[in-house]
Amino acid sequence: MFSRAYKAAVAIPPIFWVAAFLLTPYLLLFCNSFWSVQGGQVVIHNWGLQNYKNLLHVPVYAEVLLRSMKIAGGVTLLALLLGYPLAYYVAFYAKHKQLLYQLVIIPLWVSYLVRAYAWKTILGTDGVLNTLLQYLHITHGPAEFLLYSPFAVVLTLTHIYTPFAFLPIYAALEHVPRNLIEASQDLGASRVTTFWRVVFPLSIPGVIAGATFAFVLSLGDFLAPLLLGGPSGVMISNIVVTLFGAAYDWPLGAAISVCMMLLVIAILFLTERLEKKWSFT
């Protein structure tokens, strides 16, 4: 087989890559979260928990985190409500499965930024939607709440992350053995009963995976709130961006990042266990 030297040689590039671009930044981030800024100019290396205490004492951080989780939760819910029926239709009824599948995937090739801007064009005061509403005399004057609001953020993120919820659900539904559905009907269950008692339980791992994608990805999003959120739609990542940028408080930004990372790791750990509990193959 392969010699030790050969094995070591092929292992070096990926190890180097992981060390240089993943471990080192994480380590720096972690260290930064215990440092502090002097005079708004220089990061000094005096170790302490001051940043974490700060996060607990200043209510705005908790508020924004809570809002981020609410937005992410809303996006997750909507993505599941849209993604599940779509996945169900494509998996069980669609004549042109591949085509529909591709139609769901294709938007992922379009730049995120372009799609977020598109929503800005649709939702703005002179936007497509407001123009239409006024033209139809449903509203008199532009509806302000459409843009620069948590609503706009949820809408945009739902649009962007629904495919991520769709994919694992679709995969789970495709793997539901068709003879189980026939067995259920054979035993006297209608289509609806069969769905709730057989198809849905067997698709739960996909639902959990899809929900995890939608939640985690939208929780850490900063572009949609930046472009469409306005002051009321600020999310936790916007605060991190500001702290690393204009506010020049890397240590505090790093502390928030570390907290976010721990939160996401906890979520992934939990959902993985849930997925295992519900998988039977």
Partner 1 sequence: MTTPAVTSTPVQPLLSINRVAKRFGNNIVLRDVSLEIAHGEFLSILGESGSGKTTLLRLIAGFEHPDSGSISMAGERIDALPPYKRRVNTVFQSYALFPHLTVAENVAYGLKVNKTPKAEVEPRVQQSLAMVKMNSFAKTKPSKLSDGQQQRVALARALVNRPRLLLLDEPLSALDANLRREMQFELKSLQREVGIAFVFVTHDQEEAMTMSDRVALLRLGELEQVASPREIYKSPATAYVAQFIGHSNLLRCTVSRGIALCGSIIFTTSEPDGPAVFSLRPEAIRVAGVATPSEHPRFKATVTRQVFQGATELFELDCAGITLISKIYGARVPTGEGDFEFAPAEIIPVKESR
> What residues line the site for partner 1 (CB under 8 A)?
177, 179-180, 182-190, 193, 197-198, 201-202, 278, 280-281
Q: Measured from the CB of residue 107, what is the shortest distance to partner 1 in angstroms? A: 33
**Residue 66 or 180: which CB sits closer to partner 1?**
180
Cα gap 212→69, rounded to integer Å: 13
**Residue 144 or 182: which CB sits closer to partner 1?**
182
**Residue 2 or 280: which CB sits closer to partner 1?**
280
Q: Measured from the CB of residue 195, what is the shortest distance to partner 1 in angstroms? A: 12
HSE, CB side, 13 Å, CA atoms: give it for residue 1.
Answer: 2
Q: Measured from the CB of residue 166, what is the shortest distance to partner 1 in angstroms? A: 22
**Residue 88 or 148: which CB sits closer to partner 1?**
88
Q: Measured from the CB of residue 188, what is the shortest distance to partner 1 in angstroms? A: 5
Residue closest to 250 by CA, chosen among 97, 84, 53, 37: 37
Q: Measured from the CB of residue 165, what is the shortest distance to partner 1 in angstroms? A: 22
| Cβ contacts of 18 within 8 Å, gap of 6 or more | none
Residue closest to 184 by CA, chosen among 173, 172, 175, 196: 196
Task: Looking at the chain, list the stretches that DSSP marks H as alpha helix, in order from N- to C-terminal side.
Answer: 4-18, 24-32, 50-57, 59-92, 97-105, 112-123, 128-135, 150-174, 178-186, 191-194, 200-219, 223-224, 236-244, 250-277
**Residue 189 or 274: which CB sits closer to partner 1?**
189
